[in-house]
Amino acid sequence: MIKGSRWRLFFDTMVSLLRDEAKLRPMFRPFHVVFVVLVALSITEIASAREKTGLVLSGGGARGFAHVAVLEALEANQVRIDYIAGTSMGAVVGALYASGLTASEVRDKLLSVDWDSTLRDVTDRNERSFRNKSFEGRNFLGLDLGVAPGDVRLPLAALRGQKLALALNSLTLETATVTDFDSFAIPFRAMATDLATGDAVVLDRGSLATALRASMAVPVVYSPVEIDGRLYVDGGVANNLPVDVARDMGADRVIVVDTSSLRYSTNELTSVVTVVDQLTNLLTRRNTEAQLENLTDQDVLIEIFPEGIGTADFSKAEDALAIGRKSLAAVPDVFAAFRDDTASYQAWNAGRLNRSEPPTLAFVEVISDAPRTSSKTIANRLTVRPGQPLDNERLRSDLGKIYALETIDQVEVSVVEREDQVGLSLETKEKAWGPDYLDLGFTLEDSLDGRASYNLNGVVRATNINPLGGEWRTELTLGDKTRVTSELYQPIDYGSDWFVSAIVGFVREDRALYEEGTLTSTYSTETREYGFDAGYSLDTRGEFRLGFRQADIKNNKLLGADSLSTKVDDSRYFARAGFDTLDSLGFPTEGVRVLGEYSIYDAKLGATRQYDGLTLDVLYPFYHRNGRTLIGQGYFGYLFETAVTDVTPRYSLGGFTRLSGYSPNEISGRHAGLISFMGYQRLNERAVIPVDQPLFIGFSLEAGNVFQDRDEIRWGNTLSGGSVFVGADTAVGPGYLSFGRTEGGRQSVTLSVGRPFAERD
């Protein structure tokens, strides 16, 4: 039975009246004829009116990819959809279809997104500035705690959702001209939950990307989304299956697709992911069942519960889609009552898929709701220009640059029309818990023979301390080494790549000096320095800077022979260049990193000895396939000294991948060279232990040495060695457990956590 039967009842009643026409009194017959004609016309109009069909798509995370199978089936059965209402992933799928895409285009767009990294909010390393990349070796954990005098402010959730915001903006750029969701090819609604009241909220206008982000903002996991002064979270909390919303839009009948998961059993609650998923299920299932009670026999309910696919299993998105197709194939006539005739459907579909050309922009504006992030700084990062057609790829890249500032929490993109001119508007919001941030880190390198280095690291960043985007960064290291450094970094204009910086620092550490593997002396060394730099940033790829350091070193002997001068002035000029496109510092698979520095230790600047020095460090993953990676690395350090004999040793080797049979920094000298090849295989994440991060097994082959005199530098004096290791990207940075052996019988077992093998201290 379909809902149109009420019109048939009305029609039958009118026919019975016509049949009783002879029984009516003749004097009323003329009026009766007019009445019958009017009724007939009304009946014709009623009979010709097509019933409106609403499509309701539930949340469900990765299981929501099954919604795409429903879209495919609707197209195959020529079902015309008049309204769409969705929650969370159902809102994303529904919005793309409502905006005028075909089912196959929706599928391709969704599968083009790396949902695992997007929802884990993992910012691609190459989206970060080179300057921030250069601090990774300290292993700051990305805690992003807001700080103020006497106060520490926490983010509103574990993840900011910037990566999700960028992905949703990219998916919906074609709809940036639409701010009223009734203006889509199919009117659309997204569900969210008001965090203050817990009420269900229907989002029907504004930025589509922002609405979708609000609908997907799982509480505690992702930051709430601010819209018009209110904070919104995942719509599934209040209304996971918005049947009532579709009816309010005007739907006479609804096709309801439920992919929300059932509850886990006790035995299935085995991780943080399943616990969070279970809490979400408990919140959403109750309101889902309440909506299901409102369905009638005129509606269609399609339940797709992909077995073995959890909310966060986005690596199984295509499996969820396949299960959806299989479920629908089992009920081939499910849409029979909704099928439209071919001519009407094709005409409607052709109008729905009508695509307009990208508008030519008359203006580009930035509206900044960020007290300490200048709109000029953001505008100078844009390559989208007035007078050009809106280029979605270029705008996508520009949005990545804005988020790379790491101070912006939300960007709303819209194409607006003012005085017959079309322009691009970007509204940015700063992190609510900033603009000053605290982060922590931990590193250790232990040769498991009593020689170890343990350090706790912390950094405080005061961002946008002036309109030009200056930053004051202070780092503190406690443990085997005590270090305090503070840098004032200042772009010379709004968003400029040219910069200047001033730095001051103090380092105290114990140094052990060896000779042929035997400990000869131990010193406590204190270094005080300050300096000034100027340079140019190649955005995310590299940097070049010139500067000087005024440095005083005090060497206090603790035991052993006299090896170092008591006081040394280590002042120098330097030119430093870096280029880094590695996709990861812990276990890179592509890109390259080249770091080089030329230093002039100048007596005119106060240096104790006059000489020059050069260092060069290269890392290049040259092969990656099927989880296997091969890397080449070279390290070279050279002092251009002449008759000087008491120059402090500059370079050291030893430790994991740096002549692995030796302990960290065990051998040192005035010159050094190292060539190494590394290879590792990524294992299944859950093959050994149930962790979410990938595990690796690998090896290294190494050849190199340190030299006191230039005459000793030749291949015949190098040491060869290698290692085997297991590793993982842990919560506190990359970790490695290795067994190394170097020529001469030297061998060691090293545990390293927090310091990538590519990083040198």
Alpha helical stretches, state H, 614-758: none
What 3-state class would DSSP assign to 73? helix
CA distance 261 to 281: 7
CA distance 247 to 317: 30
Query: Region 100-122: what's the mean pLDDT?
Result: 89
> 332: which residues sit within 8 A by CB, 6+ positions away?
none
> 565: which residues sit within 8 A by CB, 6+ positions away?
555, 608, 646, 648
Question: For the chain, what is the mean pLDDT?
Answer: 85
Report the DSSP pairing between strands 230-234 and 188-194. antiparallel
Residue 514: HSE in the Cβ half-sphere, 13 Å Cα cutoff: 16
CA distance 581 to 584: 9
Residue type, 421: Q
Is 219 or 211 the better-scoring residue by pLDDT? 211
Calculated CA dihedral for residues 569, 575, 579, 580, nearest 10 degrees: 20
Q: Over pLDDT 90: what percentage of the chain?
A: 45
- Compute CA 301 distance to the chain's CA centroid, rounded to the nearest angstrom: 35
Question: Can you give the pLDDT at residue 506?
Answer: 97
Other CB atoms within 10 Å distance of the CB of residue 578: 20
Question: Can you give the pLDDT at residue 390?
Answer: 85
Query: Region 399-403: what's the mean pLDDT?
Result: 83
Read off the pLDDT band of 9 (50, 70, 90): very low
Q: pLDDT for 225-270, tens place per residue? A: 999 889 999 999 899 999 999 999 999 999 999 998 666 666 666 6
Choose the weakest-confidence range: 227-231, 289-293, 573-577, 730-734.
730-734
Is 130 or 269 the better-scoring residue by pLDDT? 130
- Compute CA 330 distance to the chain's CA centroid, rounded to the nearest angstrom: 38
CA distance 135 to 133: 5
- As given in the structure block, the two tokens for residue 252 are 């006479």
Is 419 or 320 the better-scoring residue by pLDDT? 320
Whether the predicted pLDDT of 691 surpasses 60: no
Q: For residue 687, with 0-12 CB atoms within 10 Å meaning exposed, 13-18 middle and 19 or more buried, which class applies?
A: exposed
Query: Region 213-233: what's the mean pLDDT?
Result: 90
Nearest to 69, CA basis, from 333, 325, 330, 303? 325
Is 524 or 140 the better-scoring residue by pLDDT? 524
Residues 594 and 579 sit within 8 Å (Cβ to Cβ): yes
Q: pLDDT for 456-467, tens place per residue? A: 999 999 999 998
Whether the predicted pLDDT of 25 surpasses 70: no
Choose the weakest-confidence range: 294-298, 323-327, 398-402, 699-703.
398-402
Question: Can you give the pLDDT at residue 4?
Answer: 38
Nearest to 426, CA basis, from 387, 381, 466, 393? 381
CA distance 479 to 500: 31
- As given in the structure block, the two tokens for residue 609 are 């000895």
Whether the predicted pLDDT of 46 surpasses 80: no
Question: Can you give the pLDDT at residue 44?
Answer: 42
Q: Over pLDDT 70: what percentage of the chain?
A: 88
Q: pLDDT for 290-319, tens place per residue? A: 898 989 989 999 999 887 787 778 888 899
